[in-house]
Structure 1
Amino acid sequence: MKRVLLAVIVAFFIAGCTQETQNKLGRAIVNWTGTNGVLEIYSGGKVIKRIMGIDKISTAYGTDDNRPRPYRYGYGYMDMNLDGVLQKEEKRKKIYFEFSDYATQYLFYEHP
């Protein structure tokens, strides 16, 4: 009975939140639980870079004007041989990456 009551209270709380608040809660849960994202960069229709183990990709914001910038950034592991599996040596160093919203052909997805 207590579980049902708790579930009803949580449901009413979430339903009473604005859409933006619900989105923030969802992002907070994803950030807490983590994901296993993969970013593939394409050139000429072929994958030229693959970064794996990404927990999130963020939008850059200006320091002075706090406006969104036209690029994204994050942290992950470079799949050097593009085989879709992180080898021991590839897991040793996490890298920082950036890519343009306008000029970069990319695909970001969660690794199964």
Structure 2
Amino acid sequence: MITIKLRAARAILAVASALFLLSSCTQEQQNKISRDIQNWTGTNGVLEVYAGDKVVRRFLKIDKLSTAMGTEDNKPRPYRYGYGVLDENLNFVADPGEKKVYFEISDFGSNYLFFESPR
């Protein structure tokens, strides 16, 4: 019984310490920590690509979008890439036959929206 109470007290202390440290960070540092956690745990993201006001491509079950980096200069490239299920019929469901694919989207003139899946 004492070991259970001791474990609970340690857990509460750890959570309180983490909250205290997080509250002392700037908003930018908190956002970076949040992104790092999402990179580690992944997200159930959706990427929609638009032509004007119409969705023309949708990718489901995306863990993350990555910014391409140069191999020699290590500078960010003007596109993002990732892996997701191509939702061919745009019904928000990864139907049988719809496969996970690699994709790239340009930062130049691309209209896209990335968000966490509502389902």
2:106 corresponding residue in structure 1: 100
Structure 1 stretches of 5 or more lacking a match?
A: none
Q: Where in structure 2 are the equivalents of 1:15-30 lying within 5 Å? A: 15=23, 22-30=30-38
What is the TM-score of this pair, normalised by structure 1?
Answer: 0.82
SS in 1 for 2:13: helix
Alignment size in residue pairs: 110
Aligned amino acid, residue 105 of structure 1: N
1:58 corresponding residue in structure 2: 66
Report the identity percentage.
56
What is the root-mean-square deviation of aligned Cα atoms in Å?
A: 2.1
Q: Is residue 57 of structure 2 the alignment partner of residue 49 of structure 1? A: yes
Shift of 1:13: 3.8
Shift of 1:86: 1.3
**Structure (1 or 2) with the larger CA radius of gyration:** 2
Shift of 1:110: 0.9
What is the TM-score of this pair, normalised by structure 2?
Answer: 0.78
Structure 2 stretches of 5 or more lacking a match?
A: 1-8
SS in 1 for 2:34: helix
